[in-house]
Amino acid sequence: MHPPTAPQADATQLLASARRTLAIEAHAIEALEERLDASFAEACRLCLSCAGRVVVTGMGKSGHIARKVASTLASTGTPAFFLHPAEAGHGDLGMITHTDVVIALTNSGETPEIVLLLPHLKRLGVPLIALTGNARSTIGSIATVVLNVGVSDEACPLNLAPTASTAAALAMGDALAVALLEARGFTRQAYADAHPGGNLGRRVLMLVEQVMRTGEAVPRVSPATTLGVGLLEMSKKGLGMTVVVDDAGKVLGVFTDGDLRRALDSRVDIHKTRMSDAMTKNPKSITAQSLATQAVHLMELHRITALPVTDERGALIGALNVHDLLRAGVV
């Protein structure tokens, strides 16, 4: 027996379906803004005053969203973990203590596995925050706080597969995490401490001094140097610029590819023109203790590709360009 022939996919229909899905989910998320009220603030207050951990639970597709919400909370300053409700009745209930707060994600508000948790939560006196589409449900009626994440329609044409409803729940979870992050005064360094591995940790933690070139690798000339000699220094060091410094090493300016083009357009004599006459004065610079991501921001903001690195006196101690940041994995 041959397998059934796959239906022919029409590009126009596929794109129309994708656009319809995105529109429905976007509408579901936008509708949440109008519902935000004192209940959201109360949910935040419960989490901020929690002496234990925020326990996030959900079943099925809501469970996948709950895992992500718990992970986002934990990485942004709110101690949290995911509890699988089906495992709770087989010993994992012991993971919930009287100092905790529980967040339950359930679109129907009647998820049997979560309903079974309710007597235990009541005995412990644990606050329950319900993200549900049915405030009058069993879970909604017992919850300490209800955040309405209901949707009028799923993106699924059968109105069955959780799509818009899970998108709305995820967005509300993110809103909660960000509000808590800001309320706690969570810092970039604290975020980096929670993400020490991989590219994210590298981007957040790396300092300019770990990326910059130093010593003889840094192109530098005096203001009296001729343009021709300055070009040789720039070409030799391959940074895309040369730094002009005084006798004390203080940065006076930089000479870049852009300055070279302007000099050539002016038909200057490269053997007689001095660097002080062709350089860009008061250039952008950065300190060694700045985050490498700040160097990226400066380059993007001012549309430049290299930066001198200076100390607190403005003296040149290093330099870096966009290729150095690329090699370090910061960009």
CA–CA distance, 217 with 237 (Å, rounded to integer): 6
CA–CA distance, 126 with 92 (Å, rounded to integer): 16
Question: Domains in the chain, please, with CATH?
Answer: 17-186 (3.40.50.10490), 208-327 (3.10.580.10)
Look at the pTM and tell me if it is higher than 0.75.
no
Which residues, at least 6 apart from 295, have a Cβ–Cβ distance to it below 8 Å? 208, 211, 286, 307, 320, 325, 330
Q: How many residues does the chain have?
A: 331
200: enclosing H helix or E strand: helix 198-205
192 — pLDDT class (breaks 50, 70, 90): low
pLDDT digits (tens, 9 = 90+) for 257-293: 888 888 888 888 889 899 999 999 999 999 999 988 8
CA–CA distance, 188 with 61 (Å, rounded to integer): 31
Q: What order do you get walking across the sheet with 145-148 strand by strand?
A: 80-83, 54-58, 101-106, 128-132, 145-148
User: Quick check: 198 pLDDT over 60?
Assistant: no
User: For residues 323 and 195, is the Cβ–Cβ distance under 8 A?
Assistant: no
Q: What is the pLDDT of residue 202?
A: 56
pLDDT digits (tens, 9 = 90+) for 80-128: 999 999 988 776 788 899 999 999 999 999 999 999 999 999 999 999 9
